[in-house]
Amino acid sequence: MHESSKGSLVFVGTGLQLAGQISVLSRSYIENADRVFSIVPDAFAEEWLISLNPNHTSLQSYYAQADEVKNRRHTYKQMVEAMLVAVRKGEQVVCALYGHPGVFACVSHLAIAQARTEGFDSYMEPGISAEACLWADLGIDPGQCGHQSFEATQFLLYQHRPDPSTHLLLWQIALAGDHTLTQFSTTSDRLQVLVDLLSQWYPLDHEVVIYEAANLPLQQPRIERLALKALPQARLTVISTLLIPPSQALKLNEIVLAKLGISALELG
C-alpha cells in the first residue's frame, strides 16, 4: 500500500471465542493494518475479521487438500513467505491466529524470526489460549499443586517424566505418535502405547479428561471424563487436549524444611 514505507509484521490472538476474547489493542492492529492474514477455525471467524478489515487473506488454503500428502513444515514455509512478500512491499501486515498466537503456533515464531532477519519490525501480542480456557471451564487453579504441559507426540518420543502430584496436560492428543507432520489423526494402537507409558505413574482406572474449548459463544466446552485405560477408544478431534489430574498427594521436602527452620505442622 505504501511502497516508500518500511513494512512490519504483527501477530495477534483472537482468543478461542469469536470476537469476545480479543484484546482492544489486537483488534486495533487488525482494523488499521494494510493487509490481514489469518488462521482461524471457521467461516464465522473469517467473516468477522473481514468486517474489521476487508483486505484479508486466509492462510488455510496452504494446508494439504483432500487426498494430498503434504508435510506441515512445507505448509508453514509457504505461509511465512506469503506474509513476508507483503511486508517487503512496505505494508503494515497483521496475522490473526485463534487462541494465543505464540502457543502451538510455529508459523508466528518462524515468521517473526524471518522478518527480523530481513530488518523488519515484527512482534507478537498475547491472546487467550486454550489452556486459559481449560482452567476456567474446569474450575482448576494450577497454582494449587502446579502443572506440567507437553505436546503428546513429544511426550511419547522423549524421556519426559511427569510428576503425578501435579496436573499433566498433553496437547494435540489426536496426533499422538505422528512424527511425519503429514497426518491429522492418530490410531488406537498409538494411543495404547501412550496409555502403557503413562501407566508407570498413573493407575489405569485413574480418571482423565478430554477437553475442547468452545469456539463460539453459544457452544459449550467438551469436558469428557473417562478412565485412562479407555483413552484408545475415545473420540478425539484436532483440538482435543488431555488433562490428567494428580494421582498422588504433594510430598513435603523434609530436608529443605529443616534448612528453612519450618516444621511440617506449620504447613497443616
User: Distance of alpha carbon 152 from its chain centroid, rounded?
Assistant: 12
Q: How would you class 117 by CB atoms within 10 Å of its CB: exposed for 0-12, middle for 13-18, buried for 19 or more?
A: exposed
Q: What is the C-alpha radius of gyration for the chain, rounded to an integer number of angstroms? A: 21
Residue 146, all three cell numbers: 502446579
Cell of 178: 505422528
- Give the separation between CA 122 and CA 136, rounded to whole angstroms: 31
On the CB side of 57, CA atoms within 13 Å amount to 16
Side-chain-side CA neighbours of 248 within 13 Å: the count stands at 11
> How far is Cα 205 from Cα 226, in angstroms, rounded to an integer?
8
Q: Is the dihedral of CA 69, 71, 76, 79 positive or negative?
A: negative
The question of whether 98 is a catalytic residue gets the answer yes
C-alpha cell belonging to residue 164 = 503425578
Catalytic residue among 29, 35, 62, 98: 98
Please confirm, yes or no, whether 72 is among the known catalytic residues: yes
For residue 119, count CB atoms less than 10 angstroms from its CB and return exposed for 0-12, middle for 13-18, buried for 19 or more: exposed
Say which of 29, 62, 76, 211 is annotated catalytic: 76
Retrieve residue 224's grid coordinates: 469428557
8 Å CB contact between 193 and 156: yes
Q: Write down the number of H helices and E strands in the chain.
A: 8, 10
Whole-angstrom Cα distance, residue 188 to residue 176?
10
Catalytic residue among 27, 63, 72, 222: 72
Catalytic residue IDs: 72, 76, 98
